Structure 1
């Protein structure tokens, strides 16, 4: 299972514990688009990209994923996302996914936080305890250095998503430092009340289902909303809902995955969409990853540079995750069109020879890169070329 680490300011930690932690809900605050920014195209579009990125992170949440909270250098856990109704995450108020500027929003049918910045909310419970003792970030990173990748880049973000390897290491360390807590678990763990979850479970929450299609219905706002990050978030939604037929089902999805050797954060390369699919036959724990997913997205035409960049990510995933076995990788490049000689470029740039057996040596050729085209009307359509 995946994990989510949410940031909470030191100043608001006590209020957070008495409200959010106790009642099992959290809403990462999104940037505020004020009336003053209404005619500032650049600023408004830039903020909408951040809002779309938050949507992209939250839409892939699944019941059973772990949650943690980071405050004042320490990470607190362990929580677990739970379904309240049919899902574990929702629009916090009606039409939050329409991405309207904050000053145009009427807060209607609010589930938790009464703020237009709290566009989405997720629900969790202790798993099985939310410990009062937090783990220092330096101590965590020393526990299993090779396991932690995204946690090392947790800067200037409201939250991050970590994969099952990183999540397992974080969960292990928090459990280890809290061994003595079980001697008096009531005093050593945060109190939890299911009253809010129970209240919401009695309601029909279908009107609160997260759906980025709502953002395309307002003609005036549409031009400010559409960006590469918006299309990326929309594609994540479609794959997470098993609604993108060309790409199919994947068990784990994330975006903006670090895909380069660690270096100053402003220079780090990030893969647009990454995922993996489990084997249907291997029954061991942890589960066996059968395939890895690499997706590079361009708002405009797909050209040679986009294909070469994608292949850099394919090579990175192959060496870092797939044990140098290219056959375990599926790669896609998504754009609204392609340059004229795209087939020649794919043949020339997007194949790899690799060894599959050593005695005697047997090689194969990887050519599993596919092109998808998107089109936009009242929704976004993705089709194979």
Structure 2
């Protein structure tokens, strides 16, 4: 399972979140009432949350865990109040009774929430980040790049490594059932009676706000949210079925964070019935017409996945370049350069060619508030 590490500056806020089993990112409402890229990225992060993913908190160099996302009324994530994913100002007094988090007017800045409980517990003994990273250096990729973000998503292997180091540091606490944060079911019970379809988390309003009411989306981050939503709900169409999905995933050797390359969307799926990874996914997104350099960019990510994840087996990689349109020249270039020759196996050795890059056009349907996709032949 995947994991989420939430960063909180205030330890009291950390305690309150754990006790109530609810986390929400503070989002300032833009003065122009148009979501910016950071807010769209936060919505995209929530979209991929699913029951069973682990939960951790980061505060003052230490990581506290362990929790697990849980479904209430069919999901582990909700809008804090109906239409809270629109970049609009609201009046607290008129919404208070319909809000999940409704302490005061500042609660209007909480636009989405996720729900969790201890798994088995949240330990009061946190583990220093340096100790975490040095405990299993090869497994930690995203955690090393945790910078200027409210939270990050980590994949199954990184999640297991983080869980292991926290459990080892709390083995005595686990056995003696001590140094554990208390938890209350009151907020979860209230949510059961409050939420309905109006609280559903999807990309519809995010896309609409970034569309200008046309068929083209203004921000690539909004398209990321839309594609993640689309893949999560269309298991066999265009992009296929993926067990793990994330976005803005590190795809370069470690260097200053602001200069690191990141894949727009990354994922993988398992062989059905087993915890063995079958395929890896990378998607590069362009909001306008694709250019020559975009082909080279997605191929750079293909090579990175081959180096860091599939270890020489290019056939484990599926790649997509999504854009509003493609010129004939770009389509021709794809046929020429989007190939890799590689060797697999031994006795006998197989000489193989990879050419699994697909070009996909997107279009936004304003009335449905949905993205539509078509493969370019």
Task: Give your verdict on TM over 0.5.
Answer: yes
Corresponding position: 1:116 with 2:105: no
Q: Distance in 1 between matches of 2:211 and 2:66?
A: 43
From 22, 25, 30, the equivalent of 2:27 is: 30
Deviation, 1:280, is 1.2
Tell me the distance in 2 between the aligned counterparts of 1:128 and 1:4: 16
* 1:195 pairs with 2:192: no
In the TM superposition, 1:5-20 aligns within 5 A as 5-9=5-9, 12-17=10-15, 19-20=16-17
Structure 2 residue aligned with 1:240, among 217, 232, 248?
232
Deviation larger for 219-228 or 171-180:
219-228
Does structure 2 conserve the Cα–Cα contact (< 8 Å) formed by 1:79 and 1:127? yes
Q: Bigger shift: 290-299 or 199-208?
A: 199-208
CA distance in 2, matches of 1:217, 1:280: 36
Q: 1:322 aligns with which of 310, 322, 331?
A: 310
TM-score (norm 1): 0.90
Task: Note closer, same or farther for the CA distance 1:225–1:293 as it changes in structure 2 (3 Å cut).
Answer: closer
Deviates more, 1:206-215 or 1:299-308: 206-215
Match of 1:309, SS state, is: helix
- In the alignment, does 2:249 pair up with 1:260? no
TM-score using structure 2 length? 0.92
Which residue of 211, 215, 220 maps to 1:228?
220
Moved more, 202-211 or 171-180: 202-211
199-208 or 369-378, larger mean C-alpha shift:
199-208
Match of 2:161 among 169, 174, 197: 169
Q: Give the conservation status (yes or no) of the 8 Å contact 1:278–1:290.
A: yes
Structure 2, unmatched stretches of 5+, are none
Over 3 Å counting, the alpha-carbon distance change for 1:15 and 1:315 in structure 2 is closer
Relative distance call for 1:360 and 1:133 in structure 2 (3 A) is same
Distance in 1 of aligned mates of 2:296 and 2:108:
41
How far apart are the structure 1 equivalents of 2:213 and 2:124?
Answer: 44
Match status 1:140 vs 2:132: yes
1:299 and 1:335 in contact (8 A); partners too: yes
Distance 1:168 1:65, change over 3 A: same
Query: Within 2, Cα distance between the matches of 1:216 and 1:227?
Result: 9
- How far 1:220 moved relative to its partner? 9.6
Report the Cα offset of residue 362 of structure 1: 1.7
Shift of 1:262: 0.7
Cα shift readout 1:124-181 (whole Å, capped 9, x = no counterpart)? 0000111000000011111001111111111110000000111000000000001121
Shift of 1:360: 3.1
2:203 equivalent to 1:212: yes
In 2: Cα distance, 1:220 partner to 1:314 partner: 30
1:256-335 alignment, distance < 5 Å? 256-282=248-274, 287-335=275-323
Number of residue pairs the alignment of both structures matches: 367
- Distance in 1 between the 2:206 and 2:300 partners? 33
Aligned residues: CA RMSD:
2.2
Give the Å deviation of 1:221: 6.7
Alignment partner of 2:310: what SS? coil
**Distance across 2 between alignment mates of 1:22 and 1:221:** 41
- Superimposed CA distance per residue, residues 93-133 of structure 1 (whole angstroms, 9 cap, x where no aligned partner): 111223x2446897461112452221100000000111000
Is the Cα contact below 8 Å between 2:280 and 2:316 reproduced in 1? Answer: yes
Q: Deviations over 1:297-340 (max 9, x none)?
A: 00111121001000000000011001210111100000000122
